[in-house]
Homo-oligomer: A and B are copies of this chain.
Amino acid sequence: GPDERAAQAVRERDAVLTKPAGSLGRLEEIAVWLAAWTGKAKPQVTRPLVAVFAGNHGVTAKGVSPYPSSVTAQMVENFAAGGAAINQLCIANDLGLKVFDLALEYPTGDITEEAAMDEKTCAATMAFGMEAIAGGTDLLCIGEMGIGNTTIAAAICHGLYGGTAQEWVGPGTGADSEGLRRKVAAVQRAIELHRGHLKDPLELLRRLGGREIAAMAGAILAARMEKVPVIVDGYVATSAAAVLHAANPAAIDHCLFGHVSAEPGHRKVLEKLGKKPLLDLGMRLGEGTGAALAAGIVKAAALCHAGMATFEQAGVSGKVN
């Protein structure tokens, strides 16, 4: 659980910093959140890390993406070469970047016809995600790359929350109306096929899958155990958090949602989770870009709290009774 003593220490220091009480808004909440989940009364962000998990999806055979699934591996190359958006955002905010290629040459099963993963693969992929942060970090941003994975996220959300497939499906990388129809049909078929096996969130994850989603779920769990606060990226990353939340709502209390994406399902799932995103900039790229941008705000919040003078130190008068 959260470290209430550390959180309280931050609240007490915040109250005497040279500013009106509450005037830094969410920056103040972020400083408290960092303290609560790192257990440190003087929270710092010194080794922030963006972890991007890449996976391929059998459901791309159903024409759910305008891009060929070969783009997943090509973008992983682009990450390695420093040419992607996430590379630039990591430079801008001085964040580490690790990219994990999850057996791209072995796409998951087509969820409209079979389970995405067998039990062993799903468990092993979650474990892989847990180990991904073993190198050490004090702020973890999680993101993903995977052609077809907004269809997977929609299936997971539809499976978790019901409603209609249409409510959870969006244009993703830019599906046209035909493409959207194919996405909706795929999600409908997947939910019909797996109906009756969706009550257990981990079984739902295995069937509707996505290796990168299993790995992100593992990373979120491991971060909690290692007292590392997490910034979750967009719709796909949030679907991983939603699986954990369905198993135990408190399991994602250490997660901050970096932004709300332009993919319409994202706003809906954030509402289901009761989470208020930090940014709302119409982004919908994935790769961890929204989380990385939000990490700049989180770093600034930590610096603000740590570096500001108190009224006493600065010789600034307080309120007149």
Contact = CB atoms under 8 A, between A and B. Distances in A.
A262 interface: yes
Interface stretch (A49-57, A68-76, A204-212, A266-274): A68-76
Interface string A67-96: 110110011011001111101110111000
A248 interface: no
Given A19-B285, A297-B293, A300-B92, A309 B27 contact: no
A68 B319 CA distance: 7
Interface string A137-149: 0000000000000
A284 interface: yes
B174 A281 contact: no
Interface in A237-284: 262, 278-284
A66 B318 CA distance: 9
A58 interface: no
B24 A307 contact: no
A20 interface: yes
Contacts of A23: 173-174, 262, 283-285
Interface string A170-199: 000110000000000000000000000000
Question: How many monomers of this chain does the complex have?
Answer: 2
Interface residues of A, number: 62
A309 B279 CA distance: 25
Contacts of A27: 281, 283, 293
B303 A67 contact: no
A308 interface: yes
A278 B278 contact: no
Contacts of A77: 314-315
Query: A91, A308, A315 — which one has the most chain B CB atoms within 10 A of its CB?
Result: A308
A18 B78 contact: yes
B85 A24 contact: yes
Given A24-B289, A316-B74, A300 B89 contact: yes
Interface of A: 17-27, 66-68, 70-71, 74-75, 77-78, 81-85, 87-89, 91-93, 173-174, 262, 278-285, 289, 293, 296-297, 299-300, 303-304, 306-309, 313-320
- Per CB-CB distance, the 9 closest pairs between chain A and chain B, nearest first, are A83-B309, A25-B282, A92-B300, A23-B285, A20-B173, A88-B307, A26-B281, A25-B283, A88-B304
